[in-house]
Structure 1
């Protein structure tokens, strides 16, 4: 699972490597992600933890999958409501990442990800509301939601704890 160069590296090291691989300055990545340059520098140096929402903004700005920054850390990436840990990655017609997570009752807003990103959330326990801002859908235990991750979207549990599996597909939209 994951890229071999990512194993054993922390989020800050993976973030810095992705930025350098892209040939971008701290200032440019900070501008693209809507993050302060000082905050980005602190993230790269491991002086502050990165919230899940920030990691998504940075991965989108860098044009890399979220898993490149999250890596195989045993601790989940934490957002306002979603806490998720990367379980596996694979390629077929696109790159796929599988996360196991929990969703709390607080509303979490997620900015648009890159073009062609699709999210599939399968509810293992509880009830979840998630999807594009303004038109989220609800799923209960055993149900799934699929939505276009390249649009701003939200997540929140209607019952806690809400346990989910999240599959993220990166690539061109699937052909019908």
Structure 2
């Protein structure tokens, strides 16, 4: 049986990608694994991985949970993210 490599899904858009990069940077800054950070945030580690890769669009409540778990103001995670028009232009 031949197993072919399946490419990882792309980020949803520039907004989710930039948000995920900020979340990952903060997690790394704290020296946490994805699993440990997810426990602190109260979400599953697979969800956190998708967030970090920009593959999840989140509800406000989840953004706040992640910010609280990573001991950072939620505003710092979302401030000046590329907006929908920028995100759409990048992926055209």
Residue aligned with 2:43, SS? coil
Structure with the bigger percentage of helix = 2
Structure with the bigger percentage of strand = 1
Alignment map for 1:44-55 (pairs within 5 Å): 44-55=52-63
Q: Which whole-Å CA distance do the structure 2 matches of 1:51 and 1:67 have between them? A: 14
TM (normalized to structure 1)?
0.36
Structure showing greater Rg = 1
Over 3 Å off, 4+ runs: none
CA RMSD of the aligned region, Å? 1.8
Task: Indicate conservation of the 8 Å contact 2:26/2:70, yes or no.
Answer: yes
**1:74 shift after superposition:** 5.1
Task: Indicate conservation of the 8 Å contact 1:11/1:71, yes or no.
Answer: no
TM (normalized to structure 2)?
0.66
Unaligned runs of 5+ in 2: 1-16, 85-92
Unaligned runs of 5+ in 1: 1-8, 77-176
